[in-house]
Chain A
Amino acid sequence: MWWYVGKRLLQTIPVFLGATLILFILLKLRPGDPILNLAGNKPVSDEVRDALAAQYHLDDPLFVQWFQFVKSAITLDFGETFSGQPVFDLIKQTFPVTVTLAIMALAIDAILGIGLGTIAGLRRNGWFDSSVLVVSLLLLSIPIFVVGFVMQLVFGVKLGWTSPTVGSDWTVSSLILPAIVLAIANFAYTIRLTRTSVAENLSADHVRTARAKGLSNRLVVRDHVLRNSLVPVVTYIGINLGSLMAGAIITETIFNIPGIGNAAYTAIQKGETSTVVAIVTFMVMVYVLMSLLVDLLYAVLDPRIRYV
């Protein structure tokens, strides 16, 4: 198994190189001149423009820029933002809150999703199943920014149970509301996925065998139905952690959470190539590691899966 893990880790090298190259090409395709953004409405002289462009390597050929980036990235030097903050510091500062938020959302998603999904699957076509189906459909169809603003208004402003925004002095408790908002759309999926999977396994041969052996219903559900049903669910949830982090921009903006999604968004707006590439590459790496983690979890859930 360690061999497998090592092999997978080695695979991240081409992923890193490929991702950064694609990012550089994409950002190069973005028309416009970042220096003009810096200058705003006011004129900027050619001398100053060229000097600034040289400082951030904006005028170098694409491959030279990419090579420079990779070379310094190896020593964890990702350059500086236009305001002079090292990009590495920016990531260090913004990543923790995003991870915390994503993990909290993921926990809500997993606990509620798997729990409700299992019950719905066991009592297929009952009133519980039907109402969960309707509610999850509803949640799926409401865009996240609507849920976000409504929850913020109700719980933050009207009821005053929690501060409507988070700010940079964030605590885990202040992230509960945004985490719920972030979890809502995903956990509707999780419910449906778990329900279908459980329902399918209930009629599988090994479950019938287990019942025939005289095992109690609780044991059958826990060891034989649920564990086998979780493979697709774990895949979904695991991959979701990546998208929860990258896709939290809307939630982060609504609740003023200074996370990594926002840092990336601001950098894209300003055309700060190296900042964008560094952040997105970092996210790609997180994604790759998450999928490795998910793959390892498969073996825990399904003894038939082995790694060599």
Chain B
Amino acid sequence: MRLTRRTRLAGVAMIAAAGLTLAACGGGSDDGGSGGGGGDNVITVYGTNPQNPLIPTATNEVGGGDPLNNLFSGLTAYNSDGSIVNEVAESIEPNEDSTVWTIKLKPWKFTDGTDVTADSFVNAWNYGADAANKQLNNYFFYPIAGTDENGNTLDGAKTMTGLKVIDDTSFEITLKNPESDFPLRLGYSAYFPVPESAYGSDGKITKEYGEAPIGNGPYKLTKSGWERNKQISMEPNPDYTGAHKPENKGLVFKFYAGGGTDAAYTDVQSNNGNLDVLDQVPPSALKTFEDDDKISAYNEPGSNFSSFTIPDRLAHFKGEEGQLRRAAISMAINRPQITEKIFNDTRTPATDFTSPVLDGWTEDVPGNEVLQFNEAEAKKLWAQADAISKWDGSFQLAYNSDGAGNKEFVDAVTNQIATVLGIDSSGKVYPTFDELREEVTNRTIKTAFRTGWQADYPSMLNYLGPIYATKAGSNDGDYSNKKFDQLISEASSSDGDERYAKISEAQTLLLTDLPAIPLWYQNATAATSKNLKGFEFNWQQKPDYYKLTK
């Protein structure tokens, strides 16, 4: 048969096209296998692909944090209300000024059968604090002796001087400063133990471990484990004896492409087993989700605190003039109106600098009337400030537009400021979070900027010390007040009512100086399928995964 030129050409084209299609089909069938949802009492929950290897000291974002919290157990475990129980720790005893803590361990095993020893903790923490290991959670070790203010070991040392192994089942932690609520920190993922087998011959935690970590928690990874960009599957750890005994047959953290909460919400609505729990209602559904009869809706105040910071170094914001202007700006903002109109009541107007989910929180911090909308008083204070030095220029508030709702609320806040105070005020947009943070970190930012805080551990002090203490790691506004520093350190070393009184006093100081203007507490919102039972938010705005059943 003679092939005409045209037939040959068509042949080339067809083969090329067929090649593409075949490649596509081949890839498709590779992906088959274990299904995402369904199953017997296996709960499918929303997740995102972890951004770091699954190592406790390397994981600082929810995509990896949620799985880790289920795969590992720390010295203490958090109850839903934020209080703690001893988990791996048999006892945690302070010396008289709460600077040296002695820890004794229960008999406990990793899922590979090896014992959890004092070394499992101490080595993991030292590893995390050594800057050479590039662990993003190094910051959590700053209270321990032998670290700098960022939690890195001093002068590149391999170990922290504050950690001392006594024997296999006990060790001692020496802190830089007294801290009576130190055990509250110890349930956080940065403090999880890591088994001996995780380390390679070069002393580094291996890549393989970061992909399929061996833990000591309520769950362990299934054989398929972490399938990149798809899901993380885990099953109950049969040897687990701690406080969070799973009541379901396993968890699947299902990832959504590009973090698509809209797609996830549709999956929950359809009740087809694709997704049982979405712990983050998409902005598009916030108005309607509580009336949606296809899902079960949850909405309550959470542990995220939102504010904006006005650095001292901005013109007109120093000394007495600054105090007056900050108070005026704060009173010019009608918080309830914004939380209702813009956030559909998924934010709660702030009355202090912490969060209502915490032990000891109260609505009645003296001085918090400065957070109430008060047009007349705002105008009066602004005029007083003008008497000291005349206002010029514009009040700008910087935000990142890649966060949902940021633009809307900044526009509303600056509008209210402009209307009430009669000045020029507007938002200043940064396209991404890291662009904003870079200028904030380098102190090159020339405007006020939005700030927020998500607690590391359930203590009011965690909302104050790390942000407003002199030279603290997250003190983006360079606030410094000796009286405040002292109150915080006194509160850290005291207990009970005395401690709360000191915290209250410290907050009153902040309400006078207003280094940051509190805006609202972010509510925890969730949508679950109709047949899901046992959903309850914990202090981290997450469900207690082990309690979920269906």
Complex Cα spacing A97 to B53, Å: 25
Stretch in contact with the other chain, from A35-43, A69-77, A130-138:
A35-43
| Interface of chain A residues 249 through 292 with chain B (CB within 8 A) | 249, 252-259, 262-263, 265-266, 269-271, 289
Which A residues lie within 8 Å of B267 (CB)? 164-165, 256
Q: A44-B139, A256-B260 are in contact. Are A168 and B24 (CB under 8 A)?
A: no
B550 contacts chain A at the CB level, 8 A cutoff: no
How close is B518's CB to chain A, nearest CB, in angstroms?
16
How close is A28's CB to chain B, nearest CB, in angstroms?
14
A83 contacts chain B at the CB level, 8 A cutoff: yes
Contact with B along A23-40 (1 / 0, CB 8 A): 000000001111111111
Q: A48-B131, A157-B270, A293-B17 are in contact. Are A99 and B23 (CB under 8 A)?
A: yes
Q: Is the CB of A42 within 8 A of B139?
A: yes
Which A residues lie within 8 Å of B229 (CB)? 90, 93-94, 168, 258, 263
How close is A276's CB to chain B, nearest CB, in angstroms?
13
| Interface of chain B residues 104 through 157 with chain A (CB within 8 A) | 131-132, 134-136, 138-139, 148, 150-152, 156
Q: Is the CB of A258 within 8 A of B230?
A: yes
How close is B462's CB to chain A, nearest CB, in angstroms?
12
Contact of A156 among B139, B211, B270, B434 (CB under 8 A): B270
Which A residues lie within 8 Å of B402 (CB)? 269
Stretch in contact with the other chain, from B29-37, B161-169, B498-506:
B29-37
| Interface of chain B residues 1 through 55 with chain A (CB within 8 A) | 5-6, 8-10, 12-13, 16-17, 20-21, 23-28, 30-33, 35-36, 49-53
How close is B275's CB to chain A, nearest CB, in angstroms?
8
B60 contacts chain A at the CB level, 8 A cutoff: yes
Q: Binding site of A, secondary structure by majority: helix, strand, loop or mixed?
A: helix
Contact of A95 among B8, B27, B262 (CB under 8 A): B27
Q: A43-B150, A157-B269, A168-B231 are in contact. Are A258 and B257 (CB under 8 A)?
A: yes
A297 contacts chain B at the CB level, 8 A cutoff: yes
Complex Cα spacing A164 to B23, Å: 26
A232 contacts chain B at the CB level, 8 A cutoff: no
Which B residues lie within 8 Å of A152 (CB)? 266
Q: Is the CB of A85 within 8 A of B150?
A: no
A52 contacts chain B at the CB level, 8 A cutoff: yes
Complex Cα spacing A83 to B50, Å: 7
How close is B517's CB to chain A, nearest CB, in angstroms?
17
Complex Cα spacing A33 to B36, Å: 35
How close is B152's CB to chain A, nearest CB, in angstroms?
5
Stretch in contact with the other chain, from B75-83, B419-427, B435-443, B539-547:
B435-443
Which A residues lie within 8 Å of B131 (CB)? 45, 47-48, 51
Which single residue of chain A is at the shortest CB-CB distance from B148?
Answer: A45
Q: Is the CB of B266 within 8 A of A165?
A: yes
| Interface of chain A residues 184 through 200 with chain B (CB within 8 A) | none
Total contacting residues, chain A, CB less than 8 A: 76
Q: Is the CB of B257 within 8 A of A157?
A: no
Which B residues lie within 8 Å of A125 (CB)? none
Q: Is the CB of A45 within 8 A of B211?
A: no
Complex Cα spacing A292 to B88, Å: 64
Which single residue of chain B is at the shortest CB-CB distance from A271?
Answer: B434
Q: Is the CB of A45 within 8 A of B138?
A: yes
Complex Cα spacing A169 to B345, Å: 37
Complex Cα spacing A153 to B274, Å: 16
B494 contacts chain A at the CB level, 8 A cutoff: no
B204 contacts chain A at the CB level, 8 A cutoff: no
Q: A93-B228, A253-B258 are in contact. Are A33 and B437 (CB under 8 A)?
A: yes
B97 contacts chain A at the CB level, 8 A cutoff: no
Which B residues lie within 8 Å of A39 (CB)? 60, 136, 437
B360 contacts chain A at the CB level, 8 A cutoff: no
Q: Is the CB of B6 within 8 A of A303?
A: yes
Q: Is the CB of A84 within 8 A of B207?
A: yes
B454 contacts chain A at the CB level, 8 A cutoff: yes
A68 contacts chain B at the CB level, 8 A cutoff: no
Complex Cα spacing A100 to B27, Å: 10
Listed in ascending order, the chain B residues whose CB lies under 8 Å from chain A are: 5-6, 8-10, 12-13, 16-17, 20-21, 23-28, 30-33, 35-36, 49-53, 60-61, 131-132, 134-136, 138-139, 148, 150-152, 156, 207, 210-211, 227-231, 254-260, 262-264, 266-267, 269-270, 272, 274, 294, 402, 432-438, 441, 452-454, 473-474
25 contacts between A and B (CB under 8 A): A1-B5, A32-B434, A36-B434, A36-B438, A37-B432, A38-B52, A38-B136, A41-B452, A45-B139, A45-B150, A48-B131, A48-B135, A51-B131, A82-B52, A90-B228, A93-B228, A99-B21, A163-B272, A165-B274, A168-B36, A169-B32, A253-B258, A254-B262, A258-B257, A262-B257
